[in-house]
Amino acid sequence: MPAEVPPTAPSGFLSRLHDGLRKTRDGLRQKLEGLFVGVPLDEATLEILEEALLSSDLGPATTAAILEPARAAFRRQGITTVEAMRDLLAERVAELLQVGPPPRPPLSPPHVTLFLGVNGSGKTTTIAKLAKRHRDAGEAVLLAAGDTFRAAAIEQLQIWGRRIGADVIAHKPGADPAAVVFDSCKAATARKVQRLLIDTAGRLHTRQNLMEELKKMHRVIAREVPGAPHETLLVLDATTGLNVIAQAREFHQAVGVTGLVIAKLDGTAKGGAVVAIAQALQIPVRYVGVGEAPDDLQPFDPREFATALFS
């Protein structure tokens, strides 16, 4: 069943998602110019539609999965208007996005989230945005500067921590990230904070070492906080389109990703990739980033996304 619109959605929530998907929608619209109003539905229309979906980076498998029920309905003359077709497509996209289980709540705080992603994907910004959401909800938040490989990453997190009102556990550049994780788990438990958000390195050039490092961090978290990490979020750059799937698989194999964050959705016309990525990995999208400001993070709702894509 597609999810309902959350009753707690802040005002402007839908319009920001709508804005964030503007480039993707414009791309689709250009291809579908005039198609959705008063055009008779025929095989040629379906072909135009297929081409448009492919161009928004949905990929061949997902495009086929989206169009299959629409084609079937068309052939048995279950739908006759393009508007009805659009509604059917939106419903199908929402359905395809319903993958994986919902996030696990902690038995007792802290709720621990481990963040993964290659450098530049938008990981630090996402951590800051999410920390702000939790702070705004009145929760105590602790951040852990687990990317000890880059001094700038530690500093960036500390700057965000000051802005948002969240303490940051950090060691010197070059320190063992597992030690940062250990200290942050101890501190989060001792200080009884509700949320611990852990940053990790995302260097691409020493991948094997990175995956081993992440596994070790994951083990330390699991040992120090029962049931943790409650979420392992992989941050992906939407502007990279479908190319991120291989990268995501590697992270997933190493530590088991439980949710995706699609950052920079506002910067791409390839927003359809969100559907293809969730499909290929069978991992749910938890949040989308629709801008650089601290409030530009939206909890992901498949139905809203699908509606905003075709509206």
Give the interface with ligand GDP as residue ranges (CB under 6 A).
Answer: 117, 119-125, 202, 263-264, 266-267, 289-292, 296
Lookup result for tokens 């929608």: 25
**Closest chain position to ligand GDP (CB):** 289
Kindly state the smallest distance separating residue 111's Cβ from ligand GDP, in Å. Answer: 21
Nearer to ligand GDP by C-beta: 65 or 254?
Answer: 254
Kindly state the smallest distance separating residue 116's Cβ from ligand GDP, in Å. Answer: 10
Nearer to ligand GDP by C-beta: 137 or 204?
Answer: 204
Nearer to ligand GDP by C-beta: 86 or 134?
Answer: 134
Kindly state the smallest distance separating residue 131's Cβ from ligand GDP, in Å. Answer: 12
Nearer to ligand GDP by C-beta: 35 or 261?
Answer: 261
Kindly state the smallest distance separating residue 90's Cβ from ligand GDP, in Å. Answer: 23
Kindly state the smallest distance separating residue 6's Cβ from ligand GDP, in Å. Answer: 20
d(CA 134, CA 141): 7
Nearer to ligand GDP by C-beta: 127 or 278?
Answer: 127
